[in-house]
Amino acid sequence: MNENEKTVRLPWFGIPKVLPYAKKYAKLIVIMMLLGALTSVIDSAFPLFHRYALNHYVGEGVLDTVAVFAALYVGILLVQVAANFISTYLSSKVELGVGRDLKNAAFTHLQTLSFSYFNQNSVGYVHARVMSDTDLIGTLLSWRIMDFVWNFSYIVCVFVVMLTINRSLAFVLLMLVPIAALFIALFQKKLIGLNRKVREINSRITGNFNEGITGAQTIRTLVIEEKIGREFEKDTEDMRCTAVRSAHVSALFVSVVTLLSSIALALVLWQGGQLTREAVMEIGTLSVFMSYAIGIMDPIQYLIEMFTAIIQTQANIERFTTLMGTQPDVKDTPEVLEKYGDVFTPKKENWEDLSGDITFEDVSFRYPDGEELVLDHFTLHVPKGTSVAIVGETGAGKSTLVNLVCRFYEPTKGRVLIDGRDARERSQLWLHSHIGYVLQSPHLFSGSVRDNMRYGKPDATDEEIWAALALVSADEVVRRMGDGLSSEVGEGGSLLSTGEKQLISFARAIIADPAILVLDEATSSIDTVTEKAIQEAVGKVIRGRTSFMVAHRLSTVVDADVILAVRDGKIVEMGRHEELMARNGYYSHLFRQQYEESEQKVAFARGV
Amino acid sequence: MTKSYKTKGSLIGAFLRGSKRFFVAGALFSALTALTDLINPQIIRFTVDSVIGEKTPNLPAGVQTLLEQVGGLGVLKKSLWQIALVVILVALVGAVFRYVNRLANAGGAERLVKTMRDMLFTHIEKLPFAWLSKNDTGDLIQRCTSDVETVKRFLSEQLTSLFRIVVLIVLALFFMWGISPALTTAAAVFIPIIVLYSLLFHNGLQKTFRKADEEEGALSQVAQENLTGVRVVRAFGRERQEKDKFEKQNDIYTAAYMKLSVLLSAFWSVGDGISGLQVLTVVLYGAVLATRGQITAGDYIAFISYNAMISWPVRQLGRVISQMSKAGVSVDRIWYIMQGQEETDLPEAKPAPMDQDITFDHVSFRYGEDLPWVLKNVSFTVKAHTTLGILGSTGSGKSTAMLLLDRLYELPKENGTIRIGGVDIREIKKEWLRQNIGLVLQEPHLFSRTLADNIAITQPVTRMEEVEEAAQTACLTETVSGFAKGYETFVGERGVTLSGGQKQRTAIARMLLGRPPVMVFDDSLSAVDTETDAKIRKALLEGAGAEGLPLPSTRAAEGSPLPSTGAAAGSTLPETAKAAATPTMILISHRVTTLMECDKILVLHGGEVKEFGTHEELLKKNGIYRQIYDIQNSGRQESEGVNQPSPEQENVEKSTVSEAGGKEGSGHE
């Protein structure tokens, strides 16, 4: 697996890499920052109201300015409420906007990547890049900036105010800041490590549950419930210990931070109290200092937490930029793009028809992640309308030829000619629009039958859809679903059986009347009736088309114009059925085995 | 068997076993922490009024005595650092309380979550296989992980913070009341307003939350389907449509979250406003009271501090309460699992000798009341130490029969009996039964650990030699030597992926290590080729003794002398000893070459016994078995021109192919 971090360390926590995505929101971000600064100024100014009230009303015992005081207070409060609302609104807007743009960019880029990428990276891994990395980067460019501005500016404002009203007392508090910052940073570092460990053990426990449930039958037959249970309890105990250790550090952390603010308060009370007693300072000023002393620790803590978050987001940025930097192995040349358009903006007016004559001309091929040549100077002419069957055991590499025909991969050496011209001379999309493809494990998209059929032909009418379904006898299936073409197929087609999905995917493949048909037959056992229906369907749909069949069923193999037998990734035999049987080699061995199995089914059917 | 829980309350009680005392300690120290936090404003009040100011202090008796012992107010007035010291001392005590409180809470929470997980896991491992196959795996895991997490949060975070908040507010109000009842009333009027505002808002927000969640799920699904269906997308050239679909859903998702964000922004801003007004009220009214001489400057400062201390907790209260409602659903979902009936044995169940005849006596079975019968009145006997071959197509009920034999499904009393040595298997201890029947499934599950650990998983202690011997019998040695790490190769998600045949052979080796007197192969040689199939069977039948792997007749006979010498092959052993060492085997297979070597062959079809007898008998009978035999034989004749393949022949065939490979690979046509 390639997913185990093939990323590069980026300077500046990778932030410069994602700044282009924030450009669109630059204005919003600036307003957001300004408003954030404004709210922090107001927040740091509120204690001054108390100071005035203490010095003037409480100290001097007059209430002369109460009306103005209240009006001013309410006025500033309203400004703060408004600024708060707008800045948090903008933060959300930037966060979600950047997240959306990044998701779109990642998704769009993935649509252009080659199969080698998807073979090397699991769906779960790629999915997380699209869905969660992007969110975290969005948060970085909005809330993190906002947090930074607010906390930083709050600290600055507080010290400015303090320095203005009493310099020496301000210095006393200022001294505490680096000590506090150092403490907090040390604790944070320790906590990050512990929390990572907690997450690791947590996913191990989830894995244990998974194994305990999916492996239940095996566990019961082996009578190892107790052993598995003991091991599980070891993991949960490990979890408990690590989590408690982490809690211990964070409890210590919180206690130390509150202790620090109490120390700040004590210093103010001591130094400031003396000043007040000597009547150098008013009581209200002392109160302001006390408020600040208690209030300054939180922003320091938040600032450091923010840095930790930035460091943690760096990994997300690196993974995201690695994805965006991945180049497809198969690429159309600029000239081809110029004429035929790209996948998102095809220039269909320039597209030629395709008749389906395919030639492998001295093709050698090695998978990008493989070392061995799986095709070595392979030459084969497949005239229009020819059927090619590819047989071999599971995992023998039967898909290689199909991958080359579809241009999912390109030959390492040699050429694949389509209608006499190098496949590279025309765009991938052009080629794909002329290929009908049926996957071994039929993949339907959630939505209606109609949606899925239109996958093959976006402008298909209901009549066309029914006709295509009828051709492969899938119309009965759809009628049984109750809602006709509007029936939902469920996530991944989960509301249908494998055989039914297969039939619908046949219909989907032929609805656009493609010149080339690629069939990857299912190995999974399906009931005899459906199997018969599928066999008939195959016979019908390949007629008049150039077809490539990764075949498991005898009927398709026997009637094929060319049979290729594949073993360990290499083509070991080639020819018609009779020739290969006469040769008495690998193919005949495979055939015999299959024959036995299928005839056995027939015998059982007859024997009843 | 663990006891069953009659009510959800008793279940939660069981979950809390061992962690309750931690939560009690946590609560106690939480109250103590709140109390120490609330002392500071009193110190400030005293300092401002009596140390800096000239008011005669009104101190509690204890503190007054203490003050006089250090030299009275005068000393303090000259050296304020002593007050600073008191503040720090109080803070130190507070820090210790806070630390203990948090640690106790975390200790309780982690113990709680461990207990919950352990109980769930242990229970799940005792649930009948039938129960598990009825439920969706993903959903069960969800219940064991995120629902457990929700319940943990409820008990350890939400309940404790509710307690902490309430204690803090009550204590603070008490102190505030001591300063000025009138001012306290004015301050407290806002509390219900703020709590109610927050509670109503959060409850109203739930629909928006759910909607945003759903849209996120939908977007996630679009991406998921695109990635799993990448071949289809490419082959049909649907990249643009996929992009449009994703972007459209992305917009809907973003809008849903934006709506949520706007509401939350408004909520917090308005909350800030209400809190600000409350502070203003306290400040102004306090000023009024001060000018009237009802409170001092120290009172005023202390009161404002108290008010500030409760402002944030009050705002949190509504949210905490509204979140608590979610826990109920999670408790229900966990309760569902805990209510599943665990597997049981009859009270009189006991071990029984297993190297005996196995009899199916009029066995019928179906998986559910409204489902069709899978087995219909099936009767047959497998003599001890002999091999039975079973032939049957998909859905013939052959696997079901084996699951019943191993009691993975319980055969209802009225549907016949399965006996081993005349003893109804319902009266045999399940554990005993399963330990003595080595059942190898067609698609065996390997555990995510090393190959060696997988093979030795049933054994408490294992010598490496034993593992290697078992692997040899199962023809796994070659595969293992192909791995760089050999037996230490990690299997599964985090390691190498084994092919179907390799998995089957590993499972056979695993079974062999348990040395069961009964072995059942449920089509578990289907993914290995014919030669290896034959080799494994040969090794099982005669080679076990020779390879130092004695197969004890039963574990009950542990003390009896067993053929354990590694020198001699099975055939040189005295006849009786050999028979005792030979396991009773049931082989499900579709290969006639495999079946014809069995002592008896059973043909199952549609849940009924169609044919039963020796190879010769069935051939004479001219039924299904005969037909299949003929077909498989003719297939062989056609391709090889001989009746039965000898090992040499297979080798020849193999070399032909590889030769052809050399030729074909380098350019054809």
A596:B590 CB<8 A: yes
- Contact between B623 and A607 using a beta-carbon 8 Å cutoff: yes
Decide which of 1.20.1250.20, 1.10.4160.10, 3.40.50.300, 1.20.1560.10 is the CATH code for A13-165+312-329.
Answer: 1.20.1560.10
**B94/A258 CB distance under 8 A:** yes
What pLDDT does residue B497 have?
67
Within 8 A of A75 by CB-CB distance, chain B residues are none
Averaged in consecutive runs of 10 residues, what is the pLDDT profile of chain A (608 residues)?
52 85 94 95 90 88 89 95 94 95 94 83 85 91 91 93 89 87 86 87 87 85 88 93 91 89 89 85 87 86 84 87 89 88 85 89 84 83 90 72 87 91 88 83 84 87 91 85 86 76 86 86 57 76 87 73 83 88 83 70 64
- Give the mutation candidate from A209, A256, A602 for the B interface (greatest B CB count, under 10 A): A209
Asked if residues A430 and B236 have their Cβ atoms less than 8 Å apart, the reply is: no
CA distance A607 to chain B (A): 5
A260 close to A299: Cβ distance less than 8 angstroms: no
* CA separation for the pair A351, A353 (Å, rounded): 7
Ordered alpha helix ranges (H), B38-158: 39-46, 61-69, 72-78, 81-126, 129-134, 137-142, 148-152
DSSP B597: T
CA-CA distances (angstroms) from residue A84 to A33, A39, A342, A506, B269?
A: 11, 7, 45, 58, 6
Rg (chain B; Cα; Å): 38
What are the sequence ranges of the domains in chain A? 13-165+312-329, 167-280
Token pair for A250? 């964070």
The three-state secondary structure class of B417 is strand
Number of C-beta neighbours around residue A26 at 10 A: 11
Residues of B in contact with A57 (CB under 8 A): 287-288, 290-291
Confidence of residue B256 (pLDDT cuts 50, 70, 90): very high
Q: Which residue has the tokens 């040969």?
A: B538
Residue B181 has phi, psi (to 5 degrees) of -60, -40
Q: Locate A455 and state its tokens.
A: 């996958």
Separation CA B394–CA A12 (nearest Å) = 62
pLDDT value at residue B89: 93
**B635-639: long-range contacts, CB 8 A cutoff, minimum separation 24:** B635/A592, B635/A595, B635/A596, B635/A599, B636/A592, B638/A581, B638/A592, B639/A581, B639/A584, B639/A588, B639/A589, B639/A591, B639/A592
Q: How far is B416 from chain A (nearest CA, A)?
A: 22
Q: What angle do CA A33, A38, A44 make, to 5 degrees?
A: 125
Residue of A nearest to B101 (CA): A251
Q: Which residue of chain A is at minimal alpha-carbon distance from B291?
A: A61
pLDDT value, residue B33 = 93
| Region of residue B612 (left: phi > 0; alpha: psi -120 to 50; beta: else) | beta
Q: Which amino acid is at A604?
A: F
Four-way CATH pick for B7-179+326-342: 3.30.420.40, 3.90.580.10, 1.20.1560.10, 1.20.120.80: 1.20.1560.10
Instruction: Please tell me the distance from the alpha carbon of residue B72 to that of residue B87, in angstroms, as a whole number.
Output: 18
**Three-state DSSP class for residue B557:** helix
* Residue B654 scores a pLDDT above 80: no
**Domain range annotation of chain B:** 7-179+326-342, 181-294, 358-556+568-652
DSSP type of residue B144: I
Which residue is associated with the tokens 């192909």? B482
Q: Which residue has the tokens 């929470």?
A: B109
Could you give the 3-state DSSP secondary structure of residue B422? coil
Q: Is the dihedral of CA A578, A580, A584, A586 positive or negative?
A: negative
Which band of pLDDT confidence, cut at 50, 70 and 90, is reported for residue B47? confident
| Measured distance CA(B231)–CA(B236) in Å, rounded | 8
> B287 and A53 in contact by Cβ < 8 A?
yes
Q: Token digits for A317?
A: 């940025």
User: pLDDT band for position B637 (50/70/90)?
Assistant: low
Measure the CA–CA gap between B118 and B132, rounded to whole angstroms: 17
Name the more confident of B549 and B189: B189
CA atoms of A565 and B54, how far apart (whole Å): 105
Instruction: Kindly determine whether residue A600 and residue B84, on different chains, have CB atoms separated by under 8 Å.
Output: no
- What is the pLDDT, as a whole number, of residue B557? 37
DSSP A85-118: HHHHHHHHHHHHHHHHHHHHHHHHHHHH--HHHH
What's the pLDDT at B658?
33
Residues of B in contact with A578 (CB under 8 A): none
Residues of chain B found within 8 Å of residue A210, distances taken between Cβ atoms: 137, 141
Structure confidence at residue B344 (pLDDT): 85
**More confident of the two residues B669 and A14:** A14
Taking CB atoms and an 8 Å limit, are B458 and A232 in contact across chains? no
- Residue in chain A nearest B516 by alpha carbon: A222
| Mean of the per-residue pLDDT values of chain B | 82
* Element holding A492 (H helix, E strand): none
Nearest to B426 by CA among B446, B398, B442, B405: B405
HSE, side-chain direction, 13 A CA sphere, residue A248: 8
Q: Indicate the residue of A61, A585, A608 with minimum beta-carbon distance to B291.
A: A61
Whole-angstrom distance, CA of residue B550 vs CA of residue B145: 44
Give B305→chain A minimum CA distance, Å.
8
B427-458 pLDDT per residue, tens: 999 889 999 999 998 778 888 888 998 898 88
- Tell me what pLDDT residue B596 has: 85
**Distances in Å between the alpha carbon of B96 and those of A131, B164, B194, B306?**
42, 16, 32, 22
Say yes or no for a CB contact (<8 Å) between A572 and B408.
no
With a CB cutoff of 8 Å and minimum separation 6, the contacts of B314 are: B165, B169, B190, B191, B194, B195
Bridge partner list, A568: none
Give chain A positions within 8 Å (CB) of B634: none
Task: Report the predicted TM-score, pTM, of the whole model to 2 decimal places.
Answer: 0.77
CB contact under 8 A, B237 and A574: no
Residue B494 has pLDDT above 70, yes or no: no
Query: Sign of dihedral through CA atoms B529, B531, B534, B536?
Result: negative
What is the four-CA torsion angle of B1, B3, B8, B11, rounded to 10 degrees?
-80
The pLDDT value recorded for residue B639 is 46
State how far the Cα of A363 lies from the Cα of A423, in Å rounded to an integer. 13
In angstroms, the CA B476 to CA B452 distance is 12
Q: Cβ separation of B265 and A97 shorter than 8 Å?
A: no
State which H helix or E strand residue B669 sits in: none
Residues of A in contact with B286 (CB under 8 A): 53, 58
Burial of residue B373 (CB within 10 Å: 0-12, 13-18, 19+) is: middle
In sequence order, the β-bridge partners of residue B202 are: none
Cβ distance B627 to A82 less than 8 Å, yes or no, reads: no
**pLDDT for position A403:** 86
Q: Are B638 and B628 in contact (CB under 8 A)?
A: no
Q: Which residues of A touch B220 (CB under 8 A)?
A: 127, 131
Query: Residue for token digits 């039965």?
Result: B644
- Work out the pLDDT band at B372, boundaries 50, 70, 90: confident
Cβ atoms B150, B327 nearer than 8 A: yes
The CA distance from A14 to A311, in Å, is: 9
Cα(A573)–Cα(A389) distance, rounded to whole angstroms? 12
How many angstroms separate the first and last alpha carbons of chain B? 70
Alpha-carbon span B58 to B302, nearest angstrom = 15
* pLDDT at residue B252 tops 90: yes
Residue B531 vs residues A585, B50, B651: alpha-carbon distances, Å: 17, 101, 9
Q: How far apart are CA A288 and CA A52, in angstroms?
A: 10
Place of tokens 């859903």: B249
DSSP A399-410: HHHHHHHTTSS-
Q: Contact at 8 Å (CB) between A575 and B572?
A: no
B192's CB contacts (< 8 A; 6+ apart) are none
What pLDDT, on the 0 to 100 scale, is given for residue B423?
92
The count of other CB atoms within 10 Å of the CB of residue B344 is: 12
Greater confidence (B286 vs B61) lies with B286
pLDDT at A557: 79
Q: What is the CATH number of domain B358-556+568-652?
A: 3.40.50.300
Mean pLDDT of B562-566: 37
